[in-house]
A and B are shown apart, each in its own frame.
Chain A
Amino acid sequence: TENYSNTEKLSEDLKNLLTSRNEENFSDFEVICVLNETQKTTIKCHKSILSVRSDYFKSLFRSKMKEYQENRIILEDVSPTIFEIVLEYFYTGKIKITLENAIDILLFSSKYLIEDLVQLSSQFVSKN
């Protein structure tokens, strides 16, 4: 037997799932990021991916509360840009941390208990 793995391709395909999510891509959940009264962004995504990549979302779906019933969640004080970056990380396992986004990623992932991302971003912060 030989074991083959092609994680690159997997990551790429999942990224397609993410970028094409406004088209026909079977998305079943909406995240609405509210930065202030005027700025509201709706991002479509997949429950299955969220729940497997994040304990927060897993619990959210498991407890079958309002968000689960309505298939959407309102995240207050969350920048859609940051959420998109984190979302890409959820789907592909890849993330580009820059001086501009590092702090926000760290704050977001701390709040929502995304432990691996907390580690990555805090490493970046302490290095710089």
Chain B
Amino acid sequence: MSRKMILRVPKFQEPKRMEKSEAQRLWLLLKDAIVEVQHMNASTLSFEELYRSSYSLVIAKRGDILYTGLEEVNNHHTKNLLDKIAQAVDERFLIELNSQWQQYKLQQIMIHDILMYLDRMYVKEPQLKVFDLGMFKWKQNVLIHSQINDRLVRMLLGLIHMERNGEVIDGALMKSLIQMYVDVSLKEKETYKQEFEERFLLATSHFYKSESNLFITNNSCGAYLKKVEIRLIEEEARIKQYLDESTGPKLIKACEDELIANHMQTMIEMETGCRTMIQNDRFNELKLMYRLFQRVENGLVHLKNEFAGYVRNEGHKIVNQPENLKDPNALITSLIEIRNRFEKTLSQSFANNRDFINSVNTAFESFLNENDKLSESLALFIDKKLRGGFKDSNDQEIDVIMNKVILLFRFLSDKDVFKKFYEHYLAKRLLSGRSFSEDLERTMISKFKQECGNQFTSKMEGMFTDMRLSKDALDGFKNYLQTSVEMGKLPKIDMSVRVLTQGFWPTFPPHSCTLPPLLSQYCDLFTKYYCHAHTGRRIIWQTNIGTAEVTFRLPKKTHVLALSTYQMLIMLLFNDAEKLSLKQMAAGTSISFMDIQRSVKPLYSGKYKVLKRTPAVEKSKELSENDIFELNLNLKCKLHRIKFAATSQTDSEPERQHTRQRVDEDRKIEIDAAIVRIMKSRKALIHNDLIVECTKQLSSRFVPQTSMIKKRIENLIEREYLERFPDDRRRYRYLA
């Protein structure tokens, strides 16, 4: 049923034969039309007729007549236009050029439309497309012609210059004329770049070079920065208004170079510059400077270095100020203050830039470790706070201060020295009952723990445990005394004992003294009781840190004196003597002469004088062995209980040295442990590598001196933990 149909394809697209005369006729028809278009008389032409003519020529393989003809017509037309435009004078020139150009562009679109078939089916690379051909002819015969190009660029740049000087210009005209350079560029905007952009950028650099030089010498840095910001905003607007967007980054770069990069050093150094701004906390100006410097290469490095330098300098001043060296509290308070101040600068002006923060921290590290005072000062600062300095602060304020302490602590390179001092003062607080709040003590310690781990605070925590256990032991001792037989024979005194685990507590410098018999007996009783309850333990009495209350009977009045144990011993001597020389005091108590000196001083030179020096030589403070003292029976004091400082709050120099010595002892052990740890895992190592590795491992606690590490290595070789390679003396081997 189904009859298969066969599709008959005629000889499709086979060029129809066309007489030369017919081709010529069609071309002339088109040529006339193109000329009409060029004279803006297109409305009576038939589009379809023209389209069909170009179509017919192309399929008859006569596209060449059309294409070359078009080229000629365009050539001719643009040459005519050139004369017309070049004749225009002054401002008319730009207007004439622009209006001709706008018309020409429309005409070229129309010509392209009519010749669409030619454009799509005939034109092959490297021939230009119909529209591009039109653009090329305009460029060749009009735009880059010597009568136009230079004149145009000069006028455009002149207008831009005027606008930069505050005059109003025709932005739309500018846009159209500048866009013309882009439109006639065949690829990658080459004409625009070559003929316009390059000269524009040069003029820009030139303009801002002279403007910035003049402005910065006659204005403050702050005013200059504001000016720069405004200029940059204006140039950004200029890009949007009439430049090609591809010029944007180049223009901004040129402005930044002239306005910012070239004046960075000046802006930092000038009298109203960066330094003054930092000094006077001009946060807004610094913020602007930061924003602008950020735009140029290495800009922030300059600013950062300047800021860090200032921080280092300020810190250096603080840590070396004589008043601060005497007063740890003032020192730490000032450090916290500048830290707060710089943190404010960092957040308000420098966007909390990590690099800036790091360099400020590095500066802190460097000046905080400039002298070795800081560890102790910081410990003393906290000591004062925890002795009651926090009394008037709320929890939040306390937390802020503690965090600042931790922050400063973090910068210390010798954290072990700090730790020793902290333990030392903590011990003193606990033993003298001067700690303001156990909660706050523990909060502070937990912060150190968070920062440095358990090892750092284990001893401190041990001290608290001891305090608690001591209380239990003392209760037990009191019960024991009530049941004890020996007790009946002894006069009653109220004795309080703290049992300190050796190792948790700082070892106080060894001192000895002779206790009066009654006290000795009590001590023996306690020892007996305690060692019975805790077999295997040994008690060493540490009398030099104790306190005592003594009744002081004067002819008319009785006082209670709160004294150190040593002071008590000295005062007790006066029960049996009227006058005593220091030498005699030392002999009677077995206390070292130095401790005698320190103990006696508050007794005769304080507000309430229970001793007087005979003969009275108030002025001379130095005490000598032969100075003689007697009781001051004329003591006038309304208080019943008189408290005497045992020693000054800060430690004496020998005590401090003692603390340092103990730090050194501990360091030896730490270094030994580090070396052995490293060698155990590496087996063999060159000297320098070992030093580096060792320093690295210990850096969180302290910075070991190379000479000290060397000594420890020598020591470990002697103790046969390590040996040198016989063939290479610089290498060590671990001996298992």
Contact = CB atoms under 8 A, between A and B. Distances in A.
A66 B43 contact: yes
Interface string A41-83: 0000000000000011001101111111100011110000000
A99 B12 CA distance: 16
Contacts of A73: 47-48
A62 B113 contact: yes
Contacts of A105: none
Contacts of A125: 7, 9
Give the interface residue-count category, chain B.
20 to 34
Contacts of B52: 76
A69 B116 contact: no
A74 B117 CA distance: 18
Contacts of B10: 103
Nearest to B45: A65
Nearest to A64: B43
Interface residues of A, number: 26
A28 B595 CA distance: 118
Contacts of A107: 12
A66 B44 contact: yes
A66 B116 contact: no
A106 B47 contact: no
B293 interface: no
Contacts of B13: 110
Contact of B48 (A60, A62, A99, A102): A60
B43 A103 contact: no
A111 interface: yes
A65 B7 contact: no
A63 B47 contact: yes
Contacts of A3: none
B552 interface: no
Nearest to A100: B5
B110 interface: yes
Contacts of A113: 116-117, 120
A34 B13 CA distance: 22
A103 B113 contact: no
Interface string B8-29: 1110110000000000000000
B12 A66 contact: no
Interface in B33-81: 42-48, 50-52, 55
A82 B55 CA distance: 19
Contact of B113 (A59, A76, A106, A110): A59
Given A103-B10, A111-B55, A113-B120, A66 B46 contact: yes
A111 B53 CA distance: 12
Contact of A99 (B5, B42, B47): B5
Interface in A70-121: 73-76, 99, 102-103, 106-107, 110-111, 113
A128 B113 contact: no
Contact of B9 (A59, A103, A110): A103
A110 B120 CA distance: 11
Nearest to B50: A65
Q: Which 5 A-B pairs have the closest CB atoms?
A: A59-B113, A65-B47, A128-B7, A66-B46, A63-B110
Given A66-B47, A68-B47, A125-B7, 20 more contacts: A56-B51, A60-B51, A60-B113, A62-B109, A62-B113, A63-B42, A63-B110, A63-B113, A63-B114, A64-B43, A65-B42, A65-B47, A66-B45, A67-B46, A67-B48, A99-B5, A99-B7, A103-B7, A113-B120, A128-B7
22 contacts: A56-B116, A59-B47, A59-B113, A60-B47, A60-B113, A63-B42, A63-B47, A63-B113, A64-B42, A65-B42, A65-B43, A65-B45, A66-B45, A66-B47, A76-B52, A99-B7, A103-B8, A103-B10, A107-B12, A111-B55, A125-B9, A128-B7
